[in-house]
Chains A and B, each alone.
Chain A
């Protein structure tokens, strides 16, 4: 770990952090591609500033990029308002033509007689994080602090504005100013990030950590913090990988780079955040794919268990409280299950002591009977509701009740019960359970 490696790691993690935070708002406001627009549109500003100032004047060029970026955003808004061009096309037009003009200007500068090639404009396109120096970090730190302070101070305003601009306006907040402040922070971060990660990948720094953070939380504040952290971590790890530091620790290079070939920092950082994103897509609680599959799987299992119990109950119902043994074939006939699936469901219910295998079939246990009674109750209440409350014909009811009863919470069942008790006729006032609307074919 050399001094330079540390500088780069600190710089990229600072950038990743602040980009993650401002990017969160962009992602939430469905303006994720504004970052892409800004970074492309900034290029002609850089070049013009170089031409006008007659040299590589760092702050001046950043100023030029800032102005060009904001002009690009304003132009998109203007085009959507004043012409029939739709937003997506307007974004694409400004992005590509500004960038084209930027390429044109930067080539022009490079081909200028006398030292134009020293402008180093080409580094802005792909970025050169490895070339960071101490002063770059100071600048990044200043910008980060500035942007973060603005976001913290006006957090409430930004929050309401991002969520519901019309409401914010009706409340009297200066929405235009808020919008400009938000776009201004985004532009500022983009512009200071350009020299390190380049045009295309700056957009990634803004979007990916925010999109990943969204998976883990439903709270804006947590999302902002998390997105910042993810951005910073990706920045640090990415820069360390690309500097070969990780190779030193692990003993191998995670990207399998050739000996001595340093991988470009920007893309490695982006792939690090992509990895974080993919992990989030898979593993996040609730929103993640695994959690959702698990939920789905659990639901299916629960449905199967409950269907088994209910079927056993219905078969046993005429002879209760005696617990009869229901033959395997009977169960197979009543549920559209394969034999293997039935065995599996029965075995699982057996583990929980809900059923027991008897010679030739399956029998509810006492515990199973209790649970089955509750289930059948929910099932019949729901059937009863569909017929009486929603006037659906009796012969269409059962299958539907099959799918919904497993999801009814206790509140809903209580509600159904109240309705049932209120409406049952006086003749069967003692009835606590609606009769099944179907003829039960019990052996």
Chain B
């Protein structure tokens, strides 16, 4: 059996000691477009941030192709939420895309002609060559998201983690992003997307991870994205889990 791209064992994540994800245990398949779906506050972003080592794990472990994340960095690309950066920052579209090559270059080495060429190609792929020299604030929301995607393309990873790439983009951009995701899959990549629009899950993704503070189910879209599972994910709040999480946060013996 081939080594799965992402393997999460018994992962519990806590903010300020309060658990927000309980005992998540998933093995994600290769060459799939994977949606992470769940209600607000279900821990979707947290799941990928924890997988990337951006937030510490309270327990459990994450493996990327059978190895700890720190060793497999070069295999992983990340598209953060659009709001997470300062769009007034004095960089051009091209600069941002070029940042995708930094990880491969490591400390001190500068991007050379080859990296520049890659960045240009990635920009062409998202149809933004003409805006390369613009400051990033001057782009529309959809264009900004495409810049992030181009940057991820330049990273040339095997696995992509994308945090709400469809948030606040226009319909045309959404289609462009989907086309790009499919293209990535054709090239053998695995793409994990935090997704908030239930309408489009069936259409865009071939694998879903249903999440609500704990893993509800994960599997191929046809079999897993069922009404019953959605009911389990979205219906009924897990008052007990919430209360228990609160007890842990306060941390006082009763």
What residues of chain A have their CB less than 8 Å away from a CB belonging to chain B?
A: 84, 295-296, 298-299, 302, 382, 385-386, 389-393, 396-397, 399-400, 403-404, 406-410, 412, 415-416
Q: Are A409 and B254 interface neighbours, CB within 8 A?
A: yes
CB <8 Å contact, A410 and B254: yes
Give how many A-B residue pairs fall within 8 Å (CB-CB).
Answer: 63
B residues lining the A interface (CB < 8 Å)? 10, 12, 22-23, 25, 59, 88, 213-216, 232, 238, 240-241, 243-244, 247-248, 251-254
8 shortest interchain CB distances as A-B pairs: A407-B247, A409-B254, A302-B253, A84-B88, A390-B214, A392-B23, A396-B23, A299-B253
Specify the chain B residue showing the minimal Cβ separation from A300. Answer: B253
- Across the interface, name the chain A residue whose C-beta is closest to B239: A415
Q: Is the CB of B25 within 8 A of A385?
A: no
**Would B252 and A408 count as touching, CB distance under 8 A?**
no
B245 to chain A, nearest CB (A): 9
Given A396-B23, A407-B247, is A391 in contact with B216 using a C-beta cutoff of 8 Å?
Answer: yes
Report the bound CA distance from A298 to B254 in whole Å: 11
* A389→B240 contact, CB < 8 A: yes
* Contact in complex: B243, A412 (CB < 8 Å): yes
On whether the beta carbons of B254 and A407 are closer than 8 Å, the reply is yes
Given the known inter-chain contacts A392-B214, A400-B23, please indicate yes or no for A408 contacting B232, CB distance below 8 A. Answer: no
Residues on A with C-beta less than 8 A from B244 are 382, 404, 407-408, 412
With A390-B22, A392-B22, A412-B240 as contacts: A404 and B247 at CB distance below 8 Å: yes
- Given known pairs A392-B22, A412-B243, the reply for A406 and B216 (CB within 8 Å) is no
A299 and B88 form a contact (CB under 8 A): no
Give chain B nearest CB distance to A292 CB in angstroms: 8
Residues of B within 8 A of A397 (CB): 23
Of chain A, the residue at the smallest CB distance from B241 is A390
Docked CA distance A389–B88 (Å): 47
Residues in A with CB closer than 8 Å to B25 are 392-393, 396
Task: Name 25 interchain pairs, CB-CB below 8 A, sorted by A.
Answer: A84-B88, A295-B253, A298-B253, A389-B238, A389-B240, A390-B213, A390-B214, A390-B238, A390-B241, A392-B23, A392-B214, A400-B12, A400-B23, A400-B59, A403-B248, A404-B247, A404-B248, A406-B253, A407-B244, A407-B248, A407-B251, A407-B254, A408-B244, A412-B240, A412-B244
Contacts of A299 in B (CB 8 A): 251-253
B252 near A295 with CB under 8 A, answer yes
Whether A391 pairs with B247 at a CB distance below 8 angstroms is no
Beyond A296-B251, A396-B10, 14 extra complex contacts between A and B, CB < 8 Å: A299-B252, A302-B253, A386-B22, A390-B22, A390-B214, A390-B238, A390-B241, A391-B214, A399-B10, A400-B12, A404-B248, A407-B247, A408-B244, A409-B254
CB neighbours of B10 from chain A (8 A): 396, 399
Contacts of A391 in B (CB 8 A): 214, 216, 232
The CA of A390 and the CA of B59, in the complex, are separated in Å by 18
Q: Contact check: which of A295, A393, A409, A415 meets B251 at CB < 8 Å?
A: A295
Distance from B251 Cβ to chain A, minimum over Cβ atoms (Å): 6
CB neighbours of A392 from chain B (8 A): 22-23, 25, 214-215
Distance from A442 Cβ to chain B, minimum over Cβ atoms (Å): 26
Q: Closest CB-CB distance, B37 to chain A, in whole Å?
A: 16
Shortest beta-carbon distance from A84 to chain B in Å: 5
Residues of B within 8 A of A296 (CB): 251
